[in-house]
Protein backbone atom coordinates (compact mmCIF):
# COMPACT_ATOMS: atom_id res chain seq x y z
CA UNK A 1 0.00 0.00 0.00
CA UNK A 2 1.27 3.45 -0.89
CA UNK A 3 1.19 5.95 1.98
CA UNK A 4 1.57 9.57 0.90
CA UNK A 5 1.53 11.47 4.19
CA UNK A 6 4.61 10.26 6.09
CA UNK A 7 6.59 13.13 7.60
CA UNK A 8 10.07 13.32 6.09
CA UNK A 9 12.55 15.87 7.41
CA UNK A 10 13.88 17.64 4.33
CA UNK A 11 15.95 20.58 5.56
CA UNK A 12 19.21 18.61 5.54
CA UNK A 13 18.62 17.42 1.97
CA UNK A 14 19.67 19.29 -1.15
CA UNK A 15 17.03 20.54 -3.56
CA UNK A 16 17.91 17.75 -5.98
CA UNK A 17 17.63 15.07 -3.27
CA UNK A 18 14.18 16.34 -2.32
CA UNK A 19 13.07 16.21 -5.96
CA UNK A 20 14.54 12.73 -6.43
CA UNK A 21 12.68 11.43 -3.35
CA UNK A 22 9.42 12.83 -4.66
CA UNK A 23 10.02 11.41 -8.14
CA UNK A 24 10.41 7.96 -6.60
CA UNK A 25 7.06 8.35 -4.87
CA UNK A 26 5.49 9.48 -8.14
CA UNK A 27 6.73 6.32 -9.87
CA UNK A 28 5.30 4.16 -7.05
CA UNK A 29 1.95 5.95 -7.38
CA UNK A 30 1.82 5.42 -11.16
CA UNK A 31 2.56 1.71 -10.74
CA UNK A 32 -0.21 1.46 -8.15
CA UNK A 33 -2.70 3.19 -10.47
CA UNK A 34 -1.89 0.83 -13.34
CA UNK A 35 -2.18 -2.19 -11.06
CA UNK A 36 -5.68 -1.14 -9.96
CA UNK A 37 -6.70 -0.52 -13.58
CA UNK A 38 -5.63 -4.03 -14.55
CA UNK A 39 -7.53 -5.45 -11.56
CA UNK A 40 -10.68 -3.68 -12.71
CA UNK A 41 -10.91 -1.45 -9.64
CA UNK A 42 -10.90 1.72 -11.78
CA UNK A 43 -11.66 2.29 -15.46
CA UNK A 44 -9.24 3.61 -18.10
CA UNK A 45 -10.53 7.20 -17.89
CA UNK A 46 -9.94 7.34 -14.14
CA UNK A 47 -6.49 5.76 -14.53
CA UNK A 48 -5.49 8.31 -17.17
CA UNK A 49 -6.73 11.23 -15.05
CA UNK A 50 -5.01 10.03 -11.85
CA UNK A 51 -1.74 9.32 -13.68
CA UNK A 52 -1.66 12.92 -14.92
CA UNK A 53 -2.38 14.24 -11.40
CA UNK A 54 0.21 12.09 -9.61
CA UNK A 55 3.08 12.71 -12.02
CA UNK A 56 5.45 15.65 -11.45
CA UNK A 57 3.81 16.32 -8.08
CA UNK A 58 6.60 18.42 -6.59
CA UNK A 59 6.23 21.20 -9.14
CA UNK A 60 2.43 21.09 -8.94
CA UNK A 61 2.44 21.20 -5.15
CA UNK A 62 4.91 24.09 -5.02
CA UNK A 63 2.63 26.07 -7.33
CA UNK A 64 -0.38 25.29 -5.14
CA UNK A 65 1.39 26.29 -1.90
CA UNK A 66 2.63 29.59 -3.35
CA UNK A 67 -0.90 30.32 -4.57
CA UNK A 68 -2.23 29.83 -1.03
CA UNK A 69 0.50 31.93 0.61
CA UNK A 70 -0.11 34.79 -1.85
CA UNK A 71 -3.86 34.65 -1.17
CA UNK A 72 -3.22 35.62 2.48
CA UNK A 73 -1.46 38.77 1.34
CA UNK A 74 1.37 40.63 3.04
CA UNK A 75 0.77 39.20 6.53
CA UNK A 76 3.91 38.45 8.53
CA UNK A 77 4.79 34.75 8.93
CA UNK A 78 4.95 33.83 12.62
CA UNK A 79 6.00 30.16 12.32
CA UNK A 80 6.23 27.11 10.04
CA UNK A 81 5.84 23.69 11.65
CA UNK A 82 4.76 20.13 10.90
CA UNK A 83 1.40 19.32 12.51
CA UNK A 84 -0.60 16.33 13.64
CA UNK A 85 -3.39 15.58 11.16
CA UNK A 86 -5.71 14.24 13.88
CA UNK A 87 -5.32 17.03 16.45
CA UNK A 88 -4.35 19.85 14.06
CA UNK A 89 -1.67 20.91 16.56
CA UNK A 90 2.02 21.58 15.83
CA UNK A 91 4.44 18.69 16.35
CA UNK A 92 6.87 19.57 19.14
CA UNK A 93 10.39 19.79 17.77
CA UNK A 94 13.61 21.68 18.38
CA UNK A 95 14.18 21.92 14.63
CA UNK A 96 13.60 25.12 12.71
CA UNK A 97 11.40 24.63 9.66
CA UNK A 98 11.09 26.73 6.52
CA UNK A 99 9.33 26.77 3.17
CA UNK A 100 11.76 24.12 1.92
CA UNK A 101 10.08 21.59 4.25
CA UNK A 102 6.68 22.01 2.63
CA UNK A 103 6.46 19.05 0.25
CA UNK A 104 3.59 16.82 -0.97
CA UNK A 105 4.39 14.32 1.82
CA UNK A 106 4.73 16.61 4.84
CA UNK A 107 1.68 17.92 6.73
CA UNK A 108 2.77 21.48 7.52
CA UNK A 109 1.13 24.60 8.94
CA UNK A 110 2.08 28.22 8.40
CA UNK A 111 0.93 30.74 11.02
CA UNK A 112 0.51 34.37 9.92
CA UNK A 113 -0.30 37.41 12.08
CA UNK A 114 -3.14 39.75 11.13
CA UNK A 115 -3.42 43.49 11.79
CA UNK A 116 -4.80 43.00 15.33
CA UNK A 117 -2.21 40.40 16.34
CA UNK A 118 -4.48 37.37 15.83
CA UNK A 119 -3.37 34.18 14.10
CA UNK A 120 -4.27 33.20 10.56
CA UNK A 121 -3.44 29.51 10.11
CA UNK A 122 -2.73 27.84 6.79
CA UNK A 123 -2.92 24.05 7.16
CA UNK A 124 -1.29 22.08 4.33
CA UNK A 125 -1.93 18.34 4.87
CA UNK A 126 0.02 17.33 1.78
CA UNK A 127 -1.36 15.65 -1.31
CA UNK A 128 -4.22 13.22 -0.86
CA UNK A 129 -2.82 9.70 -0.77
CA UNK A 130 -3.34 7.69 -3.94
CA UNK A 131 -5.04 5.00 -1.85
CA UNK A 132 -7.69 7.45 -0.62
CA UNK A 133 -8.13 8.98 -4.08
CA UNK A 134 -8.75 5.54 -5.59
CA UNK A 135 -11.31 4.75 -2.90
CA UNK A 136 -13.37 7.71 -4.06
CA UNK A 137 -13.21 7.15 -7.83
CA UNK A 138 -13.27 3.34 -7.99
CA UNK A 139 -16.07 1.45 -9.71
CA UNK A 140 -19.11 1.35 -7.37
CA UNK A 141 -17.32 3.79 -5.08
CA UNK A 142 -18.74 7.03 -3.67
CA UNK A 143 -18.30 9.15 -6.79
CA UNK A 144 -19.32 6.35 -9.17
CA UNK A 145 -22.60 5.97 -7.28
CA UNK A 146 -23.19 9.72 -7.50
CA UNK A 147 -22.46 9.62 -11.24
CA UNK A 148 -24.91 6.75 -11.80
CA UNK A 149 -27.57 8.53 -9.75
CA UNK A 150 -27.17 11.65 -11.89
CA UNK A 151 -27.47 9.55 -15.07
CA UNK A 152 -30.61 7.86 -13.76
CA UNK A 153 -32.21 11.20 -12.91
CA UNK A 154 -31.53 12.55 -16.40
CA UNK A 155 -29.13 15.26 -15.25
CA UNK A 156 -27.43 16.78 -18.32
CA UNK A 157 -23.67 16.27 -18.68
CA UNK A 158 -23.06 14.69 -15.26
CA UNK A 159 -19.47 14.66 -14.02
CA UNK A 160 -17.70 11.32 -14.28
CA UNK A 161 -16.30 9.82 -11.04
CA UNK A 162 -12.71 11.06 -11.56
CA UNK A 163 -13.97 14.55 -12.49
CA UNK A 164 -15.55 14.84 -9.04
CA UNK A 165 -12.21 14.41 -7.29
CA UNK A 166 -11.33 18.03 -6.48
CA UNK A 167 -9.16 17.76 -3.37
CA UNK A 168 -5.94 15.98 -4.40
CA UNK A 169 -4.34 19.29 -3.41
CA UNK A 170 -6.23 20.90 -0.55
CA UNK A 171 -5.76 23.08 2.49
CA UNK A 172 -7.56 24.68 5.42
CA UNK A 173 -7.34 28.36 6.33
CA UNK A 174 -8.58 29.55 9.72
CA UNK A 175 -8.86 33.10 11.03
CA UNK A 176 -10.28 34.73 14.13
CA UNK A 177 -13.50 36.03 12.56
CA UNK A 178 -15.80 35.05 9.74
CA UNK A 179 -15.48 38.38 7.96
CA UNK A 180 -11.74 37.77 7.51
CA UNK A 181 -12.48 34.42 5.85
CA UNK A 182 -14.58 36.05 3.15
CA UNK A 183 -11.88 38.67 2.58
CA UNK A 184 -9.26 35.93 2.21
CA UNK A 185 -11.42 33.90 -0.16
CA UNK A 186 -12.10 37.01 -2.26
CA UNK A 187 -8.36 37.62 -2.43
CA UNK A 188 -7.79 34.06 -3.64
CA UNK A 189 -10.46 34.47 -6.33
CA UNK A 190 -8.82 37.68 -7.55
CA UNK A 191 -5.38 36.03 -7.66
CA UNK A 192 -6.59 32.95 -9.55
CA UNK A 193 -6.31 34.43 -13.02
CA UNK A 194 -6.28 31.01 -14.72
CA UNK A 195 -9.66 30.03 -13.27
CA UNK A 196 -11.91 27.82 -15.40
CA UNK A 197 -14.60 26.84 -12.91
CA UNK A 198 -15.31 27.21 -9.20
CA UNK A 199 -17.87 25.58 -6.90
CA UNK A 200 -18.62 27.42 -3.65
CA UNK A 201 -20.20 25.76 -0.62
CA UNK A 202 -21.13 28.28 2.07
CA UNK A 203 -22.26 26.77 5.37
CA UNK A 204 -21.95 30.01 7.28
CA UNK A 205 -25.14 31.92 7.98
CA UNK A 206 -25.95 35.13 9.79
CA UNK A 207 -29.25 35.24 7.93
CA UNK A 208 -31.66 32.30 8.20
CA UNK A 209 -34.46 34.09 6.34
CA UNK A 210 -33.50 32.35 3.08
CA UNK A 211 -35.56 29.13 3.10
CA UNK A 212 -33.27 26.93 0.98
CA UNK A 213 -30.13 27.98 2.85
CA UNK A 214 -31.91 27.48 6.19
CA UNK A 215 -33.06 23.98 5.29
CA UNK A 216 -29.60 22.94 4.12
CA UNK A 217 -28.07 24.27 7.34
CA UNK A 218 -30.55 22.57 9.66
CA UNK A 219 -30.53 19.15 7.98
CA UNK A 220 -26.71 18.94 8.01
CA UNK A 221 -25.93 16.17 10.54
CA UNK A 222 -22.68 17.84 11.61
CA UNK A 223 -24.20 21.34 12.04
CA UNK A 224 -21.02 22.52 10.33
CA UNK A 225 -20.09 26.14 9.69
CA UNK A 226 -17.50 26.46 6.95
CA UNK A 227 -16.75 28.00 3.58
CA UNK A 228 -15.42 25.68 0.89
CA UNK A 229 -14.10 26.46 -2.60
CA UNK A 230 -13.44 23.84 -5.29
CA UNK A 231 -11.26 25.39 -7.99
CA UNK A 232 -10.62 24.11 -11.48
CA UNK A 233 -7.89 25.98 -13.34
CA UNK A 234 -6.32 25.55 -16.77
CA UNK A 235 -3.58 23.31 -15.32
CA UNK A 236 -4.93 21.74 -12.12
CA UNK A 237 -7.65 21.66 -9.47
CA UNK A 238 -7.62 22.21 -5.71
CA UNK A 239 -9.92 22.64 -2.73
CA UNK A 240 -9.75 25.29 -0.01
CA UNK A 241 -11.75 25.19 3.21
CA UNK A 242 -12.15 28.26 5.44
CA UNK A 243 -13.18 28.21 9.10
CA UNK A 244 -12.82 30.27 12.25
CA UNK A 245 -10.16 29.55 14.89
CA UNK A 246 -11.45 27.29 17.65
CA UNK A 247 -14.08 25.49 15.59
CA UNK A 248 -15.01 21.99 16.74
CA UNK A 249 -14.44 20.19 13.45
CA UNK A 250 -11.45 18.24 14.82
CA UNK A 251 -13.37 17.06 17.89
CA UNK A 252 -16.38 15.97 15.86
CA UNK A 253 -14.59 14.49 12.84
CA UNK A 254 -13.93 11.14 14.54
CA UNK A 255 -17.59 10.84 15.48
CA UNK A 256 -18.63 11.73 11.97
CA UNK A 257 -16.33 9.03 10.56
CA UNK A 258 -18.02 6.50 12.88
CA UNK A 259 -21.40 7.63 11.52
CA UNK A 260 -20.15 7.25 7.96
CA UNK A 261 -18.89 3.72 8.64
CA UNK A 262 -22.22 2.74 10.19
CA UNK A 263 -24.08 4.06 7.15
CA UNK A 264 -21.75 2.19 4.75
CA UNK A 265 -22.42 -1.13 6.48
CA UNK A 266 -26.11 -0.47 7.12
CA UNK A 267 -27.34 2.23 4.65
CA UNK A 268 -30.97 2.11 5.85
CA UNK A 269 -30.04 1.78 9.55
CA UNK A 270 -32.27 -1.30 9.71
CA UNK A 271 -30.27 -2.87 12.57
CA UNK A 272 -31.52 -1.35 15.88
CA UNK A 273 -28.09 -1.07 17.52
CA UNK A 274 -26.73 0.78 14.47
CA UNK A 275 -29.71 3.13 14.46
CA UNK A 276 -29.22 3.96 18.15
CA UNK A 277 -25.46 4.48 17.80
CA UNK A 278 -25.97 6.69 14.75
CA UNK A 279 -28.48 8.93 16.53
CA UNK A 280 -26.33 9.23 19.64
CA UNK A 281 -23.31 10.26 17.58
CA UNK A 282 -25.36 12.73 15.53
CA UNK A 283 -26.75 14.36 18.68
CA UNK A 284 -23.29 14.60 20.22
CA UNK A 285 -21.88 16.27 17.10
CA UNK A 286 -24.65 18.87 17.02
CA UNK A 287 -24.09 19.68 20.72
CA UNK A 288 -20.33 19.98 20.27
CA UNK A 289 -20.66 22.31 17.30
CA UNK A 290 -23.38 24.36 18.99
CA UNK A 291 -21.07 24.88 21.97
CA UNK A 292 -18.27 25.95 19.65
CA UNK A 293 -20.64 28.35 17.92
CA UNK A 294 -21.63 29.98 21.22
CA UNK A 295 -17.98 30.52 22.14
CA UNK A 296 -17.32 32.04 18.72
CA UNK A 297 -20.23 34.47 19.08
CA UNK A 298 -19.08 35.51 22.55
CA UNK A 299 -15.59 36.13 21.14
CA UNK A 300 -17.14 38.32 18.43
CA UNK A 301 -18.98 40.31 21.08
CA UNK A 302 -15.81 40.80 23.12
CA UNK A 303 -14.06 42.09 19.98
CA UNK A 304 -16.91 44.56 19.41
CA UNK A 305 -16.50 45.79 23.00
CA UNK A 306 -12.77 46.21 22.37
CA UNK A 307 -13.52 48.22 19.22
CA UNK A 308 -15.84 50.49 21.17
CA UNK A 309 -13.23 51.07 23.88
CA UNK A 310 -10.60 51.95 21.28
CA UNK A 311 -12.94 54.46 19.63
CA UNK A 312 -13.63 56.08 23.03
CA UNK A 313 -9.92 56.33 23.91
CA UNK A 314 -9.07 57.86 20.52
CA UNK A 315 -11.91 60.33 20.94
CA UNK A 316 -10.65 61.47 24.36
CA UNK A 317 -7.08 61.77 23.07
CA UNK A 318 -8.40 64.18 20.46
CA UNK A 319 -10.04 66.27 23.19
CA UNK A 320 -13.60 65.11 22.54
CA UNK A 321 -16.04 63.31 24.84
CA UNK A 322 -16.47 59.52 24.80
CA UNK A 323 -19.53 59.61 22.57
CA UNK A 324 -19.10 57.62 19.37
CA UNK A 325 -19.63 59.12 15.95
CA UNK A 326 -22.31 57.71 13.67
CA UNK A 327 -19.60 56.19 11.47
CA UNK A 328 -18.04 54.43 14.48
CA UNK A 329 -21.42 53.16 15.64
CA UNK A 330 -22.10 51.80 12.16
CA UNK A 331 -18.69 50.11 12.02
CA UNK A 332 -19.38 48.27 15.29
CA UNK A 333 -22.93 47.36 14.26
CA UNK A 334 -21.70 46.07 10.88
CA UNK A 335 -18.93 44.07 12.54
CA UNK A 336 -21.45 42.26 14.74
CA UNK A 337 -23.91 41.54 11.96
CA UNK A 338 -21.18 40.46 9.54
CA UNK A 339 -19.27 38.19 11.91
CA UNK A 340 -21.78 36.61 14.28
CA UNK A 341 -23.33 33.29 13.37
CA UNK A 342 -27.05 32.54 13.58
CA UNK A 343 -27.97 29.74 15.98
CA UNK A 344 -30.43 26.94 15.29
CA UNK A 345 -32.51 27.87 18.34
CA UNK A 346 -35.01 30.73 18.24
CA UNK A 347 -34.42 31.67 21.89
CA UNK A 348 -32.37 34.72 22.77
CA UNK A 349 -31.54 35.31 26.41
CA UNK A 350 -29.08 38.16 27.11
CA UNK A 351 -28.43 36.78 30.61
CA UNK A 352 -27.17 33.55 29.04
CA UNK A 353 -25.63 34.61 25.75
CA UNK A 354 -23.93 37.89 26.65
CA UNK A 355 -21.06 38.62 29.04
CA UNK A 356 -22.19 40.36 32.25
CA UNK A 357 -20.43 43.61 31.36
CA UNK A 358 -22.09 43.72 27.97
CA UNK A 359 -25.52 45.13 28.88
CA UNK A 360 -24.06 48.55 29.71
CA UNK A 361 -23.17 49.00 26.05
CA UNK A 362 -26.66 49.67 24.74
CA UNK A 363 -25.49 50.15 21.16
CA UNK A 364 -23.84 46.71 21.05
CA UNK A 365 -26.60 45.05 23.01
CA UNK A 366 -29.30 46.35 20.66
CA UNK A 367 -27.31 45.27 17.62
CA UNK A 368 -26.81 41.73 18.93
CA UNK A 369 -30.41 41.39 20.06
CA UNK A 370 -31.76 42.50 16.71
CA UNK A 371 -29.42 40.10 14.93
CA UNK A 372 -30.41 37.13 17.09
CA UNK A 373 -34.13 37.88 17.04
CA UNK A 374 -34.26 38.43 13.28
CA UNK A 375 -32.34 35.31 12.38
CA UNK A 376 -33.69 32.98 15.05
CA UNK A 377 -37.37 33.83 14.76
CA UNK A 378 -40.09 31.38 13.82
CA UNK A 379 -38.82 31.38 10.21
CA UNK A 380 -36.14 28.93 11.38
CA UNK A 381 -38.82 26.29 11.69
CA UNK A 382 -40.36 26.96 8.28
CA UNK A 383 -43.27 29.10 9.48
CA UNK A 384 -44.03 32.67 8.51
CA UNK A 385 -41.61 35.17 9.96
CA UNK A 386 -43.64 37.26 12.42
CA UNK A 387 -42.57 40.22 14.57
CA UNK A 388 -41.04 39.06 17.85
CA UNK A 389 -43.08 40.07 20.89
CA UNK A 390 -41.49 41.57 23.95
CA UNK A 391 -42.48 40.27 27.37
CA UNK A 392 -43.98 42.54 29.99
CA UNK A 393 -42.29 43.01 33.36
CA UNK A 394 -44.92 40.85 35.02
CA UNK A 395 -44.29 37.92 32.72
CA UNK A 396 -40.51 37.80 32.43
CA UNK A 397 -37.39 39.64 33.56
CA UNK A 398 -37.27 42.94 31.69
CA UNK A 399 -33.95 42.11 30.04
CA UNK A 400 -35.34 39.12 28.13
CA UNK A 401 -36.88 39.32 24.66
CA UNK A 402 -38.58 36.19 23.34
CA UNK A 403 -40.76 34.73 20.59
CA UNK A 404 -44.47 33.94 20.87
CA UNK A 405 -43.76 30.21 21.22
CA UNK A 406 -41.37 30.71 24.14
CA UNK A 407 -43.82 33.13 25.78
CA UNK A 408 -46.54 30.46 25.74
CA UNK A 409 -44.19 27.86 27.21
CA UNK A 410 -43.22 30.23 30.00
CA UNK A 411 -46.86 31.04 30.87
CA UNK A 412 -47.72 27.33 31.02
CA UNK A 413 -44.84 26.68 33.41
CA UNK A 414 -45.94 29.61 35.59
CA UNK A 415 -49.53 28.34 35.71
CA UNK A 416 -48.35 24.89 36.77
CA UNK A 417 -46.28 26.40 39.56
CA UNK A 418 -49.30 28.48 40.73
CA UNK A 419 -51.55 25.40 40.77
CA UNK A 420 -48.99 23.33 42.71
CA UNK A 421 -48.63 26.15 45.24
pLDDT in tens, 43-62: 999 999 999 999 999 999 99
Strand order in the sheet with 76-82: 76-82, 108-113, 119-124, 170-175, 237-244, 227-233, 195-202
Model pLDDT, residue 354: 53
- Judged against a pLDDT cut of 70, whether residue 109 lies above it is answered with yes
- Give strand pairing partners of 123: 109, 172
Model pLDDT, residue 306: 87
Model pLDDT, residue 341: 76
**Cα–Cα distance, 57 to 60 (Å, whole number):** 5
Query: Beta-strand (E) ranges in 87-212?
Result: 108-113, 119-124, 170-175, 195-202
Other CB atoms closer than 10 Å to residue 268's CB: what's the count? 8
- Judged against a pLDDT cut of 60, whether residue 394 lies above it is answered with no
Q: How far is CA 21 from CA 13, 26, 104, 116, 128, in A?
A: 10, 9, 11, 41, 17
- Judged against a pLDDT cut of 60, whether residue 346 lies above it is answered with no
* Mean predicted confidence (pLDDT) in 400-410: 41
Instruction: Give per-residue pLDDT as tens, 275-301.
Output: 999 888 888 887 887 778 778 877 888
Instruction: Give per-residue pLDDT as tens, 167-184.
Output: 999 999 999 998 899 999
- Give strand pairing partners of 238: 231
- How much of the chain, in percent, has pLDDT values that exceed 70? 73
Q: Is the model more confident about 215 or about 380?
A: 215
The structure's pTM equals 0.76
Amino acid sequence: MVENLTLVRTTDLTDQEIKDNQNERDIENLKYIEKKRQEGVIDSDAAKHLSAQYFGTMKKYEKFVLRMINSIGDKKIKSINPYNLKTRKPVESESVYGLKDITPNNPMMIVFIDERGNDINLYLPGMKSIVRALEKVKIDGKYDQQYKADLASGKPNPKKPHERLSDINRCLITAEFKGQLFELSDQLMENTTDLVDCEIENRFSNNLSDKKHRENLIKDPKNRRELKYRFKTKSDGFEVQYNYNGNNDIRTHGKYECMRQIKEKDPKLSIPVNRVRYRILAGSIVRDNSSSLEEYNKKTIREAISMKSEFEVNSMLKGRDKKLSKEEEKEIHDFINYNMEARRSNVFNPNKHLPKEFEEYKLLSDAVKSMYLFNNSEAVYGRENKPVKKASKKELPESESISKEVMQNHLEVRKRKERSA
